[in-house]
Amino acid sequence: MALSIESLLPQLAAGSAHTHALDFRYEALDGEAVTLRAPYRDDLVGDPGAGVLAGGLVTAMLDHVGGLAVWVALGEFRPIATLDLRVDYMRAAEPGRDLLARARCYRLTHSIGFVRAFAYEQDPEDPVAAAQAAYIINSDGERGAGANVPRPGGRA
């Protein structure tokens, strides 16, 4: 029996080495929107004088939550990769506060998922950053690497 993507989200949110190290936590699935949390930690601060979380953490979080949103839209786990990611930073994150990131895949083709995401502390209407991203979806249909190489007998 295959597990639903919803049941896999907590593991997908924190299961890789970097997401585990950053302490990403699955927060919620609201319709098609996925939310992650990164608890505030001193070692994730980019500017010790200000106590503000590093911009790289924000980018990594937006990228990861975007991928989760693609899997939700697909309804299954399939290999994906970030094709394009644009992050607009709107303000510094507030020192001492957890960071949340919420994403929704708003368009899905056979090979690309398009996502919008926001990072914020408490109110999604007051974002720290906004992201627009595209993820390529493995849809090789048995056309994997080497499929176009001629084989003995004349078939590719």
At 113-153, the pLDDT tens digits run 999 999 999 999 999 999 999 999 986 655 556 666 676 76
Can you give the pLDDT at residue 68?
97
Q: Any idea what DSSP says for residue 74?
A: H
Can you give the pLDDT at residue 142?
53
Can you give the pLDDT at residue 51?
87
Can you give the pLDDT at residue 33?
97
Can you give the pLDDT at residue 130?
98
Give 38-72 as a 3 state SS string.
Answer: ECCCHHHEEECCCCEECHHHHHHHHHHHHHHHHHH
pLDDT band at 155 (very low <50, low <70, confident <90, very high): low
Q: Are 110 and 91 in contact (CB under 8 A)?
A: no
Q: Is 108 exposed, middle or buried (0-12, 13-18, 19+ CB in 10 A)?
A: middle
At 60-96, the pLDDT tens digits run 999 999 999 999 999 999 999 999 999 999 999 999 9
